[in-house]
Amino acid sequence: MFEQIADKLKDAKKIVFVTGAGISQESGIPTFRGTDGLWRKYDPMKLATIDAFYDDPKLVWEWYEDRRKNILAAKPNPGHQAIAELEKYKDVVVLTQNIDGLHQRAGSTKVLELHGSIIRIKCTVCDFKGDFKSSFDELPPKCKCGNILRPDVVWFGESLPQDVWQEAIIQANSCDMMIIAGTSLVVSPANTLPIYARQNNAILIEVNPEETVMSQDMQLSLKSTSAIALPELISIFQK
């Protein structure tokens, strides 16, 4: 699959990955917009917005608790593992829209979580933040300050954590190769990262079984799943 750009892969100094729900699909975590996608079953405007949360915090918490249980039971797949393995050969940074923590659990050490993490929680009022891997006795859970806690994720209509976003732009602007895997590239501003990379003359590679809005802009658009294509990418360095 990667033969035609094997030399460019080997010459690349820094490889930045932009990943989305598709890379976790083979770990059993549904995507958002695919045929089995979450947004086909649920209305995102009722579950993944700040207004929805304040309208019915218990419902939103029940949905996230359900997702979190699945995510904690899921395992990184060969796609996540290949990206982690690539760190043996290259400077690798992962800019992920996923909140499942599977890149880190696969061993990737430089991961920017653009949309937060389902495993982290924060207070809606004070500056408390913490990891949470077990369940709560009551939903919505309360902070020590008495206010309700929320998942530390970015909802529609909210801005990304500015420090994370600024760092992501720096990474996209300073790579010589960007591999976009498992994302429909329909949600901004994450979908602008390939544009930053292209402005820096980076080689753009897409790994997605479906066509996306940016497939035509890629030097290589692989119609494959990430669990198949990314281990093939690593095999180039193992020859």
What amino acid positions are annotated as catalytic residues? 115
Q: Is 205 helix (H, G, I), strand (E, B) or coil?
A: strand
Across the beta sheet with 129-131, what order do the strands follow? 129-131, 116-123, 149-153
Please report whether residue 97 would count as binding ligand APR according to CB under 6 A: yes
Q: Which stretch binds ligand APR (CB under 6 A): 31-39, 50-58, 139-147, 169-177?
A: 31-39
Please report whether residue 225 would count as binding ligand APR according to CB under 6 A: yes
Please report whether residue 226 would count as binding ligand APR according to CB under 6 A: yes
Beta bridge partners of 96: 19, 113
Please report whether residue 17 would count as binding ligand APR according to CB under 6 A: no
Residue 178 CB contacts under 8 Å (≥ 6 apart), including other chains:
15, 16, 17, 18, 172, 193, 194, 197, 202, 203, 204, 205
CB under 8 A, 24+ apart: contacts of 54-62 = 57/139, 57/140, 57/148, 57/150, 58/139, 58/140, 60/140, 61/136, 61/139, 61/140, 61/141, 61/151, 62/139
**Binding-site string for ligand APR from residue 202 to residue 221, where x marks contact by CB under 6 A and - marks none:** -----xxxx-x---------
> Within positions 110 to 169, which residues make up the interface with ligand APR, using CB under 6 A?
115
Q: Which is nearer to ligand APR, 96 or 171 (CB)?
A: 96
Q: Is 169 helix (H, G, I), strand (E, B) or coil?
A: helix
The residue within the footprint of ligand APR, chosen from 1, 17, 18, 32 (CB under 6 A), is: 32
Q: Which stretch binds ligand APR (CB under 6 A): 15-23, 58-66, 82-90, 130-138?
A: 15-23
Q: Which is nearer to ligand APR, 134 or 162 (CB)?
A: 162
Q: What angle do CA 143, 145, 147 make, to 5 degrees?
A: 60
Reading the block at residue 239, the tokens are 């020859």
Q: Which stretch binds ligand APR (CB under 6 A): 30-38, 50-58, 165-173, 194-202?
A: 30-38
Least distance in angstroms from the C-beta of 13 to ligand APR = 25
Q: Which is nearer to ligand APR, 115 or 123 (CB)?
A: 115
Please tell me the count of residues contacting ligand APR according to CB under 6 A: 26
